[in-house]
């Protein structure tokens, strides 16, 4: 019993020292004033938050071809989508596949439902359903014509030279 009380008191002493030094650090840090920016200085913006203008370097399709392209994007003879392994023995297709599927759902059904799918029928995590929902949710509020335009744009991008090896298998 004596060893336990000694180790407990030692722990309490150490934890008090830690909290005291942390609060000292916080007070010192909070009391320092930030330097005023000089003329010509710009705030740091993360790459994710920057607006990126996408330069179209791939073949573009006309919106009138939407029906033909929508029928062909899932054809296993022409489009051999790569499968990406996920935990639990599951596999999903590339992001471009779900972008195309989401555009078709937006055209046919409208906005995505409010609830994101979490589980499959057999009780495992629904990675494919989540990926489709996330892409579909990005299109919320778009009209049928805008969704068709987004599909045609994504179709050309998926088949571009830069993304072809990411999306499709060779055999």
The whole-model pTM stands at: 0.68
Domain spans of the chain, in order of start: 48-167
* Distances 110 to 31, 99, 161 between C-alpha atoms, Å: 53, 15, 31
Beta strands in 14-95 (DSSP E): 83-86, 90-93
The better pLDDT of the pair 158, 14 is held by 158
Lowest mean pLDDT among 118-122, 146-150, 153-157: 118-122
The answer to whether 106 and 147 are in contact (CB under 8 A) is yes
The better pLDDT of the pair 8, 110 is held by 110
Q: What is the pLDDT of residue 20?
A: 54
CATH of domain 48-167: 1.20.80.10
SS3 letters across 77-103: CCCCECEEEEHHHEEEECHHHHHHHHH
Q: What is the pLDDT of residue 92?
A: 93
Q: What is the pLDDT of residue 102?
A: 96
Q: What is the pLDDT of residue 21?
A: 59
The answer to whether 24 and 31 are in contact (CB under 8 A) is no
Q: What is the pLDDT of residue 171?
A: 78
In this structure, what are the phi and psi dihedrals at residue 124, rounded to the nearest 5 degrees?
Answer: -95, 170
């Amino acid at each position: 019993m004596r060893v336990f009380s000694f180790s407990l008191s030692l722990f309490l002493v150490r934890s008090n020292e830690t909290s005291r030094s942390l609060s000292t650090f916080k007070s010192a840090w909070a009391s320092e004033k930030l330097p005023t920016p000089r003329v010509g200085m710009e705030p740091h913006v993360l790459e994710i938050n920057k607006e990126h203008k996408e330069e179209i370097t791939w073949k573009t399709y006309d919106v009138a071809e939407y029906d033909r392209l929508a029928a062909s994007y899932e054809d296993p003879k022409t489009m051999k989508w790569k499968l990406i392994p996920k935990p639990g023995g599951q596999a999903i297709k590339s992001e471009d596949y779900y972008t195309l599927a989401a555009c078709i759902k937006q055209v046919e059904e409208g906005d995505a439902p409010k609830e994101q799918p979490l589980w499959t029928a057999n009780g495992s995590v629904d990675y494919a359903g989540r990926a489709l929902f996330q892409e579909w949710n990005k299109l919320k509020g778009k009209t049928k014509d805008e969704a068709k335009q987004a599909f045609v744009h994504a179709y050309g991008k998926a088949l571009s030279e830069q993304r072809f090896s990411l999306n499709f298998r060779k055999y």
